[in-house]
Amino acid sequence: MKHLFFILSLICYGHTAFSQNKVKGVVYDDLNQNGKKDRNEKGIPNVSVSNGIEVVQTNGKGEYTLPVGNDNIIFVIKPSDYIYPVNEKNLPQFYYVHKPNGSPTLKYGGVKPTGELPKSVDFPLYFQKDKENFKAFVFGDPQPYSLEEIDFFHKDIIKDLKVTDEYQFGISLGDIAGDNLTLHQPYLDAVADAGLTWFNVMGNHDMDYDVEVDSLSDETFESHFGPNNYAFNYGNAHFIVLDNIYYPYVTERYKYIGGFRKSQLDFIENNLKFVPKDKLIVLAYHIPLIQRNVNFREEDRQRLFDLLAEYPNTVSMAAHTHYQEQLFYGKEQGWKRDKPHHEFNVGTTCGDWYSGHIKANGIPNASMRDGTPKGYAILNVKGNTYSFDYKVAGADPSYQINLSGPSIINTKYARKYTIYANFFMGSSKDKVEYKIGNGKWKPMVYSETLDPSFVQEVLNFDLANDYVKGIRPRDPMISNHLWSIKLPKLNAGKHNVHIRATDMYGKVHFANKEITVLEN
């Protein structure tokens, strides 16, 4: 009898151990949106669910089973024609944090112990037909270091949004806070005012710095936002959000490096098994895959490119740099397809860290070091194609080119002057032209140099005889979207210099500058 009892005990123990290593639940259509599965509410089949590495699809009843450890976030990958529930801050509720013991002791707290795994971890979704053509707001680094800067962000960016039925959600590409992680909650309060579902990416200033291993650097981020690696569908687009900061990782300049962990790349591989090849794949992360002053692990970038090789429609969105740049990855960088992979390094909503002169509304000008004004991007999706716009905070949407040059000159010295056009969304591939008065359109010269307007902003501080209110901007940097012309000989009178720029999507933008020419 004792022998039989021992065997039965082992069987029961084995069953308990197995149960603790699996999570199961149902993804269902929450008809009355009460957050619990009622008898008349059916499970949704063929929906992907993940533990951050493995990805499975629900069966005909909407059921799933996944392995789970002691530090997992289980999340559902929203299919098209459904939306996530959101909380009072418009943060999507698509995940369950499983950390039975919680986070280690951290300055900013991390995750509190979640206890034993529930019998069933269920995910409600709401049916809503997706639009084939839609828009999304894209924010680079809000990065406030104080409640005052949260207020700047709210007044200058959130209040600037013109939300219409075309906009389906927003996404912030990391550095949601500036090292002080107590500002995550005030940020959420500000973004909630936009009235849209908002997704968030982890940045290097959103990390727990008081950890010794990379796997714990995201604990407080997870407590506020959930997983920092996840995916969702909208229309014919599939979005993949990734944390691409290794910390701690000591380099010559920083204590972090750009890259992807094996677990993340495994997640992408497992996730893409259920994503049709004709989908538009949109990647969102913080650090660009190739960047001027932060190293990125080449082997990680290469595996990502290998995983995307069979997808003809792809685009990436990054931030981090506090300047704006269009990057294109070809076969020299390991991209496998003939058409280069486009990465938009989005300008930041904090601009040059809330620096510069104080505008009439009491908010810092904060233009970026390449001359791009503070603002945000708009992602336009049509089917499985995309385009981007850039909106300068507080400006008319047509403001896409800033012109630098004299407004009044002497006819004798006209040819000594240069006009610069900073086309904020431009790249060396674009065509920028000029004409004077009713003359013919002629090409401008692509010029990798400093933007004169930003140089002047810095010199207004450096050469000031009286105190200038505001924070001195950082030093100017070479702009990758600047064009120039030398003025020709001009007769006395008023002359209009017209500029037109055609971007990579075929959209045409205009700017104009009037110059008064005096007699010699």
pLDDT in tens, 192-246: 999 999 999 999 999 999 999 999 999 999 999 999 999 999 999 999 999 999 9
Alpha carbon distance 518, 493 (integer Å): 7
Query: Could you tell me which residue, 506 or 19, shows the higher pLDDT?
Result: 506
Query: Which pLDDT belongs to residue 249?
Result: 87
Residue 163: CB partners within 8 Å, gap ≥ 6?
Answer: 194, 195, 196
Instruction: Give the integer Cα–Cα distance in Å for 369 and 349.
Output: 14
Q: What is the pLDDT of residue 251?
A: 73
Listed in order, the ranges of the chain carrying CATH 2.60.40.10 are 2-98, 401-518
Question: What is the structure's pLDDT at 293?
Answer: 64
* 467: exposed, middle or buried (Cβ count in 10 Å: 0-12, 13-18, 19+): exposed
Read out DSSP for 339-361?
Answer: SPEEEEEPPBTTTTTT-EEB-TT
The pLDDT value recorded for residue 11 is 37
pLDDT band at 19 (very low <50, low <70, confident <90, very high): very low
* CB-based contact 144:178 (threshold 8 Å): yes
CA atoms within 13 A on the CB side of 384: 13
DSSP 125: E
Report how far residue 2's alpha carbon sits from residue 4's, in angstroms, rounded to the nearest whole number. 5
Tens of pLDDT along 464-492?
999 999 999 999 999 999 999 999 999 99
How confident is the model over 146-152, as a mean pLDDT?
98
Q: Which residue intervals of the chain bear CATH 3.60.21.10?
A: 134-352+372-392
Instruction: Return the percentage of the chain with pLDDT > 70, whole number.
Output: 95
User: What pLDDT score was predicted for residue 295?
Assistant: 82
- What is each CA distance from 283 to 244, 287, 334, 345, in whole angstroms? 11, 12, 17, 12
> pLDDT tens for residues 418-458?
999 999 999 999 999 999 999 999 999 999 999 999 999 99
Check: CATH 2.40.30.60 for 2-98? no
Q: Which residues contact 505 (CB under 8 A, 6 or more apart)?
A: 387, 388
pLDDT of residue 3: 40
- The mean pLDDT of 313-342, rounded to a whole number, is 97
Which pLDDT belongs to residue 10? Answer: 36
Q: What is the pLDDT of residue 8?
A: 36
Cα end-to-end distance, the chain, whole Å: 117
Q: Average per-residue pLDDT in the chain?
A: 94
Plot region of 195 (φ>0 → left; ψ -120 to 50 → alpha; else → beta): left
* Confidence band, pLDDT 50/70/90 cuts, at residue 520: confident
Region of poorest pLDDT, from 178-192, 283-297, 380-394: 283-297
* Confidence (pLDDT) at 409: 96
> Does 1 score more than 80 pLDDT?
no
Q: What is the pLDDT of residue 253?
A: 74
pLDDT digits (tens, 9 = 90+) for 358-400: 999 999 999 999 999 999 999 999 999 999 999 999 999 999 9
Whether 284 shows a pLDDT value over 50: the answer reads: yes
Q: What is the pLDDT of residue 254?
A: 80
Nearest alpha-carbon partner for 169 in 79, 91, 77: 91
CATH for the 401-518 domain, from 2.60.40.10, 2.30.30.60, 3.20.20.80, 3.40.390.10: 2.60.40.10
Beta strand ranges found along 33-164 (DSSP E): 48-50, 55-57, 63-67, 72-77, 82-83, 95-98, 123-127, 133-139
**Model confidence over 26-38: pLDDT tens digits?**
999 999 999 999 9
Spell out the SS3 assignment of 278-299.
CCEEEEECCCCCCCCCCCECHH
Residue 15 banded pLDDT, cuts 50, 70, 90: very low
pLDDT at 476: 97
Span 232-269, pLDDT tens digits: 999 999 999 999 999 998 777 788 999 999 999 999 99
The CATH number of 134-352+372-392 is 3.60.21.10
